[in-house]
Amino acid sequence: MFSGLMLLSVAKLTKDLAADNRCFHCCLAVLLGIVAQTWLSLLLSVGLLIFSVSDWRERSVSAGWFSGWCSLLLILFPCDWFNLCLLAALVGGLAIVSHGLGSADVILIGVFGGVLQLEIALIITFLACISATIHWLVTHPSSLPLISHLAIGYGCVQLAHGWLF
């Protein structure tokens, strides 16, 4: 049911994108709809999908909406603040040095570390890097929407959660 609703909403949100981008986000909607089994995974999936489309379209996300979504996740669900701060500091330092990550990417990875386990957040980030590398090798864009690739990593980890963890 969630897959269908998410697919319909993505079809509406991505009307102005190119066909390959629409296809990517429709597949992402199905993946995130499949893994949305709890309130946490549902809120994560919906937010990731919305901000993925925004990041893909504009290469930025609305700071107000994104901060509100992250705050909602941190307020509603148990959070390991040490993991959140550790990942935010490490990835934030990498972002400053590389000039390649946006603040939303850093915050999202930190939220993954706080709400999910640290190891899960690192696996999601690793899978996002692999996905982004494949994306870059195939299309050679000038910039990459990392939130979309973090959403892919999250969906894959959640899908494999029953088999691996």
Count of domains for the chain: 1
Structural domain of 132: 2-164
CA distance linking residue 127 with residue 121, whole number of Å: 10
Condensed to tens digits (0 to 9), the pLDDT of residues 117-139 reads: 889 999 999 999 999 999 899 88
How far from the centroid of its chain's Cα atoms is residue 79's Cα? 18
Q: How many residues does the chain have?
A: 165
Specify the higher pLDDT residue, 113 or 5: 113
* Residue 1 in this model has a pLDDT that exceeds 60: no
CA distances from 159 to 55, 97, 125, 136, 153 (A): 23, 33, 15, 24, 10
User: Of the candidates 43, 70, 77, which has an alpha carbon nearest to the alpha carbon of residue 35?
Assistant: 43
Cβ partners under 8 Å of residue 155, min gap 6: 28, 31, 32, 34, 35, 45
The full 3-state SS of the chain, as one line of letters, equals CHHHHHHHHHHHHCCCCCHHHHHHHHHHHHHHHHHCCCHHHHHHHHHHHHHHHHHHHHCCCCHHHHHHHHHHHHHHCCCCHHHHHHHHHHHHHHHHHHCCCCHHHHHHHHHHHHHCCHHHHHHHHHHHHHHHHHHHHHHCCCCCCHHHHHHHHHHHHHHHHHHHC
- Please check the confidence at residue 14 and state whether its pLDDT lies above 80: no
Q: Note the pLDDT tens digit of each residue in 91-108.
A: 888 887 877 788 898 889
Taking the model in full, what pTM does it have? 0.85
Cα–Cα distance between 29 and 45 in angstroms, integer? 8
Nearest residue to 88 via CA among 75, 98, 100, 101 = 101
